[in-house]
Protein backbone atom coordinates (compact mmCIF):
# COMPACT_ATOMS: atom_id res chain seq x y z
CA UNK A 1 0.00 0.00 0.00
CA UNK A 2 1.45 3.37 -1.02
CA UNK A 3 1.60 6.33 1.35
CA UNK A 4 -1.22 7.94 -0.63
CA UNK A 5 -3.36 4.81 -0.21
CA UNK A 6 -2.53 4.70 3.51
CA UNK A 7 -3.59 8.31 3.98
CA UNK A 8 -6.80 7.80 1.97
CA UNK A 9 -7.69 4.77 4.10
CA UNK A 10 -7.06 6.77 7.30
CA UNK A 11 -9.26 9.58 5.97
CA UNK A 12 -12.07 7.13 5.20
CA UNK A 13 -11.91 5.70 8.70
CA UNK A 14 -12.13 9.19 10.23
CA UNK A 15 -15.15 10.04 8.06
CA UNK A 16 -16.87 6.74 8.84
CA UNK A 17 -16.00 6.64 12.52
CA UNK A 18 -16.31 10.15 13.94
CA UNK A 19 -20.14 10.45 13.78
CA UNK A 20 -20.17 14.23 14.28
CA UNK A 21 -18.53 17.23 12.71
CA UNK A 22 -18.65 20.97 12.19
CA UNK A 23 -21.08 21.97 9.45
CA UNK A 24 -20.14 25.35 7.94
CA UNK A 25 -22.88 27.17 6.05
CA UNK A 26 -23.22 30.63 4.48
CA UNK A 27 -24.64 33.01 7.07
CA UNK A 28 -27.94 34.73 6.27
CA UNK A 29 -27.53 37.16 9.14
CA UNK A 30 -24.04 38.32 8.15
CA UNK A 31 -23.58 37.87 4.42
CA UNK A 32 -20.15 36.62 3.40
CA UNK A 33 -19.36 35.04 6.77
CA UNK A 34 -19.33 31.29 7.53
CA UNK A 35 -21.56 29.88 10.25
CA UNK A 36 -20.39 26.73 12.06
CA UNK A 37 -22.56 24.18 13.86
CA UNK A 38 -21.79 20.81 15.43
CA UNK A 39 -23.99 18.11 13.88
CA UNK A 40 -24.17 14.30 14.19
CA UNK A 41 -24.16 12.12 11.07
CA UNK A 42 -23.81 8.55 9.84
CA UNK A 43 -22.82 7.26 6.41
CA UNK A 44 -25.69 5.98 4.27
CA UNK A 45 -25.75 3.06 1.80
CA UNK A 46 -23.83 5.14 -0.76
CA UNK A 47 -21.25 6.27 1.78
CA UNK A 48 -22.65 9.81 2.00
CA UNK A 49 -23.10 11.60 5.35
CA UNK A 50 -26.75 11.51 6.44
CA UNK A 51 -27.84 14.27 8.84
CA UNK A 52 -31.04 14.94 10.76
CA UNK A 53 -31.53 18.70 11.07
CA UNK A 54 -34.11 20.96 12.67
CA UNK A 55 -35.93 23.27 10.26
CA UNK A 56 -35.71 25.94 12.97
CA UNK A 57 -31.93 25.83 13.29
CA UNK A 58 -29.80 28.61 11.83
CA UNK A 59 -27.72 26.23 9.72
CA UNK A 60 -30.85 24.74 8.10
CA UNK A 61 -32.14 28.21 7.25
CA UNK A 62 -28.75 29.02 5.79
CA UNK A 63 -28.82 25.86 3.67
CA UNK A 64 -32.27 26.71 2.31
CA UNK A 65 -30.75 29.87 0.84
CA UNK A 66 -27.45 28.32 -0.29
CA UNK A 67 -26.88 24.56 -0.20
CA UNK A 68 -23.10 24.89 -0.57
CA UNK A 69 -21.31 24.08 2.68
CA UNK A 70 -18.39 22.38 4.36
CA UNK A 71 -18.14 19.50 6.80
CA UNK A 72 -15.06 19.13 9.02
CA UNK A 73 -14.44 16.03 11.12
CA UNK A 74 -11.59 15.39 13.58
CA UNK A 75 -10.28 12.00 14.63
CA UNK A 76 -11.26 11.00 18.17
CA UNK A 77 -8.45 10.88 20.71
CA UNK A 78 -6.57 12.55 23.52
CA UNK A 79 -3.75 15.08 23.54
CA UNK A 80 -2.76 17.58 20.86
CA UNK A 81 -5.64 17.94 18.40
CA UNK A 82 -3.17 18.92 15.68
CA UNK A 83 -1.65 15.45 15.87
CA UNK A 84 -4.99 13.85 15.06
CA UNK A 85 -6.43 13.32 11.60
CA UNK A 86 -8.63 16.09 10.21
CA UNK A 87 -10.83 15.80 7.15
CA UNK A 88 -12.54 18.79 5.56
CA UNK A 89 -15.13 18.25 2.84
CA UNK A 90 -16.66 20.78 0.48
CA UNK A 91 -20.02 20.05 -1.10
CA UNK A 92 -23.77 20.55 -0.95
CA UNK A 93 -26.56 19.43 1.34
CA UNK A 94 -30.09 18.74 0.14
CA UNK A 95 -33.16 17.34 1.87
CA UNK A 96 -33.50 13.54 1.67
CA UNK A 97 -36.68 11.49 1.67
CA UNK A 98 -36.90 9.16 4.68
CA UNK A 99 -36.14 5.58 3.62
CA UNK A 100 -34.25 2.56 4.87
CA UNK A 101 -31.37 4.83 5.84
CA UNK A 102 -33.60 6.42 8.49
CA UNK A 103 -33.67 3.18 10.51
CA UNK A 104 -29.93 2.88 9.94
CA UNK A 105 -29.48 6.36 11.44
CA UNK A 106 -31.62 5.56 14.48
CA UNK A 107 -29.46 2.51 15.19
CA UNK A 108 -26.63 4.93 15.95
CA UNK A 109 -28.77 7.66 17.54
CA UNK A 110 -31.97 6.04 18.90
CA UNK A 111 -32.93 9.19 20.81
CA UNK A 112 -33.18 11.07 17.51
CA UNK A 113 -36.35 9.22 16.49
CA UNK A 114 -38.25 11.67 18.70
CA UNK A 115 -36.76 14.58 16.74
CA UNK A 116 -38.16 13.21 13.49
CA UNK A 117 -41.56 12.08 14.74
CA UNK A 118 -42.45 14.91 17.13
CA UNK A 119 -40.17 17.88 16.47
CA UNK A 120 -40.28 18.07 12.69
CA UNK A 121 -36.60 17.37 12.01
CA UNK A 122 -35.72 16.56 8.39
CA UNK A 123 -33.11 14.22 6.89
CA UNK A 124 -30.45 15.73 4.65
CA UNK A 125 -27.61 14.22 2.63
CA UNK A 126 -24.22 15.81 2.19
CA UNK A 127 -22.74 15.26 -1.26
CA UNK A 128 -19.02 16.08 -1.21
CA UNK A 129 -17.23 17.61 -4.18
CA UNK A 130 -13.69 17.43 -2.80
CA UNK A 131 -11.84 16.53 0.39
CA UNK A 132 -8.82 17.94 2.17
CA UNK A 133 -7.01 15.56 4.52
CA UNK A 134 -4.40 16.30 7.17
CA UNK A 135 -3.20 13.23 9.02
CA UNK A 136 -0.17 14.80 10.66
CA UNK A 137 3.20 16.20 9.61
CA UNK A 138 3.67 16.34 5.80
CA UNK A 139 0.41 14.52 5.05
CA UNK A 140 -1.87 17.41 4.04
CA UNK A 141 -3.36 16.90 0.60
CA UNK A 142 -6.48 17.31 -1.49
CA UNK A 143 -8.30 14.06 -2.29
CA UNK A 144 -11.00 13.41 -4.85
CA UNK A 145 -14.29 11.78 -3.92
CA UNK A 146 -13.14 8.56 -5.62
CA UNK A 147 -10.47 8.17 -2.91
CA UNK A 148 -12.84 8.70 0.04
CA UNK A 149 -16.42 7.74 -0.77
CA UNK A 150 -17.21 4.02 -0.61
CA UNK A 151 -20.68 2.60 -1.21
CA UNK A 152 -21.58 -0.18 1.20
CA UNK A 153 -21.12 -3.53 -0.62
CA UNK A 154 -23.66 -5.17 1.71
CA UNK A 155 -27.35 -4.72 0.98
CA UNK A 156 -29.50 -3.26 3.77
CA UNK A 157 -31.08 -6.69 4.30
CA UNK A 158 -27.70 -8.44 4.53
CA UNK A 159 -26.51 -5.79 6.93
CA UNK A 160 -29.59 -6.22 9.15
CA UNK A 161 -29.11 -10.00 9.26
CA UNK A 162 -25.45 -9.71 10.25
CA UNK A 163 -26.20 -7.11 12.92
CA UNK A 164 -29.10 -9.11 14.39
CA UNK A 165 -26.99 -12.30 14.46
CA UNK A 166 -24.03 -10.62 16.15
CA UNK A 167 -26.20 -8.89 18.76
CA UNK A 168 -28.15 -12.05 19.55
CA UNK A 169 -25.43 -14.70 19.48
CA UNK A 170 -22.02 -13.03 19.66
CA UNK A 171 -22.05 -10.27 22.26
CA UNK A 172 -18.82 -11.64 23.73
CA UNK A 173 -17.16 -11.25 20.35
CA UNK A 174 -18.24 -7.62 20.15
CA UNK A 175 -16.69 -6.98 23.56
CA UNK A 176 -13.58 -8.77 22.35
CA UNK A 177 -13.30 -6.48 19.31
CA UNK A 178 -13.40 -3.46 21.61
CA UNK A 179 -10.92 -5.03 24.00
CA UNK A 180 -8.50 -5.59 21.12
CA UNK A 181 -8.99 -1.97 20.04
CA UNK A 182 -8.76 -0.30 23.46
CA UNK A 183 -6.62 -2.77 25.40
CA UNK A 184 -9.20 -2.83 28.18
CA UNK A 185 -12.48 -4.55 29.01
CA UNK A 186 -15.74 -2.71 28.34
CA UNK A 187 -18.27 -2.90 31.17
CA UNK A 188 -21.14 -1.24 29.27
CA UNK A 189 -23.53 -2.94 26.88
CA UNK A 190 -22.08 -3.24 23.37
CA UNK A 191 -24.45 -3.38 20.40
CA UNK A 192 -23.46 -3.69 16.76
CA UNK A 193 -25.22 -1.04 14.66
CA UNK A 194 -23.40 -1.06 11.32
CA UNK A 195 -20.98 -2.83 9.00
CA UNK A 196 -19.42 -1.78 5.71
CA UNK A 197 -16.45 -2.67 3.53
CA UNK A 198 -13.80 -1.44 5.97
CA UNK A 199 -15.24 -1.50 9.47
CA UNK A 200 -18.01 -2.27 11.92
CA UNK A 201 -19.77 0.24 14.13
CA UNK A 202 -20.96 -0.48 17.66
CA UNK A 203 -22.90 1.56 20.20
CA UNK A 204 -21.49 1.66 23.71
CA UNK A 205 -23.58 3.44 26.33
CA UNK A 206 -25.27 5.51 23.57
CA UNK A 207 -21.90 6.40 22.02
CA UNK A 208 -21.11 5.10 18.51
CA UNK A 209 -17.64 3.57 18.08
CA UNK A 210 -15.77 2.48 14.95
CA UNK A 211 -13.78 -0.78 14.76
CA UNK A 212 -11.71 -1.25 11.57
CA UNK A 213 -11.86 -4.66 9.91
CA UNK A 214 -8.69 -6.70 9.38
CA UNK A 215 -9.19 -6.37 5.62
CA UNK A 216 -11.88 -5.04 3.28
CA UNK A 217 -14.96 -7.16 2.59
CA UNK A 218 -17.30 -7.28 -0.38
CA UNK A 219 -19.93 -9.87 0.58
CA UNK A 220 -21.75 -11.37 3.59
CA UNK A 221 -19.52 -14.44 3.33
CA UNK A 222 -16.37 -12.36 3.55
CA UNK A 223 -17.87 -10.44 6.46
CA UNK A 224 -18.41 -13.68 8.37
CA UNK A 225 -14.85 -14.85 7.69
CA UNK A 226 -13.29 -11.61 8.90
CA UNK A 227 -15.50 -11.32 11.99
CA UNK A 228 -14.65 -14.89 13.02
CA UNK A 229 -10.95 -14.22 12.44
CA UNK A 230 -11.11 -11.05 14.53
CA UNK A 231 -12.87 -12.93 17.36
CA UNK A 232 -10.02 -15.44 17.48
CA UNK A 233 -7.27 -12.85 17.40
CA UNK A 234 -5.40 -12.40 20.71
CA UNK A 235 -5.45 -8.93 22.27
CA UNK A 236 -2.46 -6.94 21.07
CA UNK A 237 -2.14 -8.64 17.66
Q: pLDDT tens, 157-199?
A: 999 999 999 999 999 999 999 999 998 888 889 999 999 999 9
Comparing 185 with 132, which gets the higher pLDDT?
132
Please state which architecture CATH assigns to domain 3-148.
Roll (2.30)
Instruction: Give pLDDT, residue 28.
Output: 96
How do residues 2-36 score in pLDDT, each as one tens digit? 888 999 999 999 999 999 999 999 999 999 999 99
What pLDDT was estimated at residue 79? 82
What percent of the chain is modeled with pLDDT above 90?
84
Strand pairing partners for 189?
none
Q: Where are the alpha helices (DSSP H) in the chain?
A: 3-18, 58-65, 100-108, 113-118, 145-148, 156-169, 171-182, 220-232
The per-residue pLDDT for 138 is 83
Pick from 201, 152, 154: nearest CA to 174: 201
Give the pLDDT confidence score for residue 141 in this predicted structure: 95
Confidence label for 142 from pLDDT (cuts 50, 70 and 90): very high
Q: What pLDDT is attached to residue 234?
A: 67
173 Cβ contact list (under 8 Å, min separation 6): 166, 227, 230, 231
Arithmetic mean of pLDDT over the chain: 94
Whole-number pLDDT of residue 162:
98
Cβ neighbours of residue 138 under 8 Å, at least 6 residues apart?
none
* Average pLDDT, integer, range 40-58: 97
C-alpha 30 chain-centroid distance = 31
Lowest mean pLDDT among 20-29, 64-73, 226-235: 226-235
User: Which of 150-159, 203-212, 227-236 comes out lowest in average pLDDT?
Assistant: 227-236
How much is the pLDDT for 80?
Answer: 84
Cα separation of the two ends of the chain: 20
Residue spans per domain, the chain: 3-148, 156-232
Residue 140 backbone zone (phi > 0: left; psi -120 to 50: alpha; other: beta): beta
Residues 71 and 73: their CA atoms lie apart, in Å, by 7
pLDDT (tens digit per residue) in 104-118? 999 999 999 999 999
Reported residue count of the chain is 237
Q: Please give the residue that has the higher pLDDT: either 237 or 80.
A: 80
Among the listed residues 39, 137, 42, 43, the one whose alpha carbon sits nearest the alpha carbon of residue 84: 137
Superfamily of segment(s) 156-232: PNP-oxidase-like (3.20.180.10)
The continuous run of DSSP H or E covering 173 comes out as helix 171-182
Amino acid sequence: MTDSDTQAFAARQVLAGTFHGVLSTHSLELAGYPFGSVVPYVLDQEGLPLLLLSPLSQHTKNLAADSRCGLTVVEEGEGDVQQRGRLSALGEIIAARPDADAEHYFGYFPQARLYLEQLGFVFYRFTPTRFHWNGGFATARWLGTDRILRANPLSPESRRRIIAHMNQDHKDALRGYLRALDGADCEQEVLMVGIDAEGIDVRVDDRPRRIPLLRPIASPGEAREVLVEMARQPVGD
